Amino acid sequence: MVPPTGSMASDTTSSDPDRWFSDWFQEDYLVLYQHRGVEEARGFLDHILPELTPKPSGWVLDLACGAGRHSHYLASLGFSVVGLDLSKPLLVRAMKTITPSKIPWIQADMRSIPLRNESVSLVMSMFTSFGYFLNDREDILVLKEVSRVLVPESWLILDTLNPGYVEKTLVPHSERWQRDMTIIEEREIDRTRRRVNKTIRLRRGNQEKAFMESVRMYSVDELTQLLTSVSCAPRILWGDYNGSKYFPQSPRLIIAAQKYATDTV
Ligand SMILES: C[S@@+](CC[C@H](N)C(=O)[O-])C[C@H]1O[C@@H](n2cnc3c(N)ncnc32)[C@H](O)[C@@H]1O
């Protein structure tokens, strides 16, 4: 059914572009992305975990865990998992979905991770949870924090947009319907700032809410430079959630980086 259009009562939620991620990752995000579930997480982890040597043993940090789909599967494999996210509604969903759960859920900002130095054997940053800050220095802060909490020789999995794929496939405008809601998305690449920006308008009846997303697209070379600057060496590159090899236009850019051994720092 095509919903009625006309004058809308507009509620533009994203007032501060610096904080777009606090506004957007709330209940509406959960509705729009409900199809990204545990099955996808399971498939990916089954492909990549066997490739990590040494194997993670000890705590795993699901950084920007959202509703906890990776945490859930990792815990079912026997890992001790901690999930960290800024969004209370997403953490509440994680707690409700994953029961009984021994997973500690932490509401915190990824730029300041409230965990001890060298206390974690694997950090997962999944499904484009990196590149959110308008200043690159803030993204580097995240990587510094990741490196600080990682045990030497343990792993970071960083799953980001692949700039070549975004350039090739970007759809400037789309509209779709989900339940009682029309979802209108506008996308553009800001080549000066190397960001992909999206506005999302959600219409229900005559109510409209607007959100934005703005993600820095890092190339492999840039990420290699950032990771080495925080004592992590990129070791494996994947291009999708099936664990296929990365290529310049693969759907994803997923890096397994290993923190340097203590004697090489
Ligand atoms: C695209 S979602 C990915 C969620 C999850 N990793 C997954 O695969 O489903 C990005 C997540 O990053 C979280 N996030 C955004 N900004 C954050 C910040 N500054 N610190 C911690 N988490 C943040 C959001 O709340 C959201 O859950």
pTM for the predicted model, two decimal places: 0.93
Tell me the three-class secondary structure of 144-176, residue by residue. HHHHHHEEEEEEEEEEEECHHHHHHHCCCEEEE
Q: What spacing in Å lies between the alpha carbon of 159 and ligand 1's midpoint?
A: 12
Query: What DSSP line would sit under 40-96, residue for residue?
Result: HHHHHHHHHGGG-SSPP-SEEEEET-TT-HHHHHHHHTT-EEEEEES-HHHHHHHHH
In tens, the pLDDT along 39-59 reads 889 999 999 999 999 999 999
> Which residue lies with its CA nearest to atom 9 of ligand 1?
66
Determine the Cα angle at 96 with ends 86 and 11, to 5°. 50
Determine the Cα angle at 209 with ends 203 and 215, to 5°. 115
Q: What spacing in Å lies between the alpha carbon of 7 and ligand 1's midpoint?
A: 33
Pocket test for ligand 1, best of 18, 20, 21 (most atoms within 8 A of CB): 21
Answer for the pair 162, 251: CB distance below 8 angstroms, yes or no: yes
Q: How high is the pLDDT of residue 35?
A: 66
Q: Using a 6 Å CB cutoff, which residues line ligand 1? A: 21, 25, 36, 64-66, 69-70, 85-87, 90, 109-110, 126-129, 132
- Indicate if the pLDDT at residue 12 is higher than 60: no
In tens, the pLDDT along 167-214 reads 999 999 999 998 889 999 999 999 999 999 999 999 999 999 999 999
Determine the Cα angle at 85 with ends 83 and 88, to 5°. 110
CA 149/CA 137 separation, integer angstroms: 19
Residues above pLDDT 70, as percent of the chain: 91
Question: 11: which 2 tokens?
Answer: 């509620």
Positive/negative CA dihedral, 73, 77, 78, 79: negative
Q: What spacing in Å lies between the alpha carbon of 1 and ligand 1's midpoint?
A: 32
CA 187/CA 173 separation, integer angstroms: 6
Q: How high is the pLDDT of residue 100?
A: 63
When pLDDT is cut at 50, 70 and 90, the band that residue 15 belongs to is low
Length of the chain: 265
